[in-house]
Structure 1
Amino acid sequence: MTDTNTKDHALTGDPTTIAGEDAYLIPLSGQAGTGNNAIVDPEGLQRLREAGARFLYTIGNGANQHYVAFLKIPTKKVQIAARVILDAPQGRRVIYRNGNSFDLRSANLRIQPQAGEKFSPTGETRDQINAAWQAHRAWRAREERFWKRNPQTDRRPW
């Protein structure tokens, strides 16, 4: 087979605009994919093409969740499209911000941080955020105990 045939089998989709951004609607096959489309931005489409995707289909995890996948050519290994678009490391979880696993735009995808990694836009780690919430809950419990002991001075804003 020559390289001239490769373009005939390239992943294609209908160009569209969603929320002011260019995107492609790529038809899906598979049990949950029939009649549905994956939404992919131009950069994501390029990454999928480079990875050898020729068509996209859905696979389920047994818990009524479906993900977009493809067969990597020529190895015929199943790849999850969101992991390829993000270049997610092995063992890391991909999160769909809007909950739609068919929306593969980069703005909708992120890799879940592990403990100790930067988590928030302000630079806190997950451990720091958890510690802050724990301190807040302890403060709130102290306040509740105080107001129960002193009901005559109850001027709580909540």
Structure 2
Amino acid sequence: MTSTNNSPEMGATEIFRMPSSDSTSPDLMDQARPSSPTLSIVKGPQTGSVFELSEDEISIGRDPNSSVFLNDMTVSRRHARIDLSGLASGFATIEDLGSLNGSWVDGAIVNRAMLKDGSTIQIGTFRMVFHTNQKPTRIETGN
């Protein structure tokens, strides 16, 4: 049996129509973005893991009861704490809890530091990125 491009065996089974540009509006795209801050592991044993930070105080450590459980011997049981209570004012803080290997923010070892959107945090072998996931504020310039 021979078939041509017009035969049912070779033709498309459904017509495709390009969606309008309205279907990718920022409102729809924002629905996929988490509303809470997140901590994404970008390097280390749990690379690809994303923790949604839904409490004002986040514990980080090797203790399985930690908000962010990092299962590695380079991490202290109670390693660090993130305080999100100031996030509405535009800032969060991280505090090292006397860990053996320390906590690093944006390449510097810290006891306590402010976090901004995109800050990198190094704890043991884990490198993480902090995201506030807040919508940018529009500033009117009067022009």
- Please say whether Structure 1 and Structure 2 have the same fold, judged by a TM-score greater than 0.5: no
TM-score when normalising by structure 2 = 0.24
**Structure with the larger helix share:** 1
